[in-house]
Amino acid sequence: MLERAHCPQPVASEILNLGSADQLMQTFGQALATSFFEGHRNAIDGKFGNIATWPPVWNFARVVRNAMSHGGVINIQNPNAAPVHWNGLTYAPADNGRRILHTDLWPGDLMDLLIEMDGHVP
């Protein structure tokens, strides 16, 4: 079984430079994650209620969706927000400003996330 190891935030010189494809892939990821999340949010609210009782993958996706709206970086406004976890990754308020797109999460990861999220949609 494959397991994802926790990796520290890469320094700028270690981030893969995608050149002109970076913005294209970011836009793709943003549209994909935001559209799926917002398209099913009411159904998830109706089935699970308050976000505190959402499936962990949906809470993680909520933070990712928010990051997609902030240039691919974590932006958690509530300093008391509970950490979210998925696939060996954890994000908490202390991670504000952390770039996740093209460091922690790639388009393939977003597809895996959406597939897992879809399993909870009524």
pLDDT in tens, 16-36: 666 666 666 667 767 777 888
Q: What is the DSSP letter of 13?
A: G
Residue 46: how many CB atoms within 10 A of its CB? 9
Nearest by Cα to 103 from 62, 58, 71, 72: 72
Domain residue ranges of the chain, discontinuous segments joined by +: 20-118
pTM: 0.79
User: Residue 53 corresponds to which tokens in the numbers above?
Assistant: 């009782």
For 12, other C-beta atoms within 10 Å of its C-beta total: 8
Q: What is the pLDDT of residue 1?
A: 47
The pLDDT assigned to 70 comes to 87
The closest of 53, 72, 76, 78 to 63, measured between CA atoms, is 76
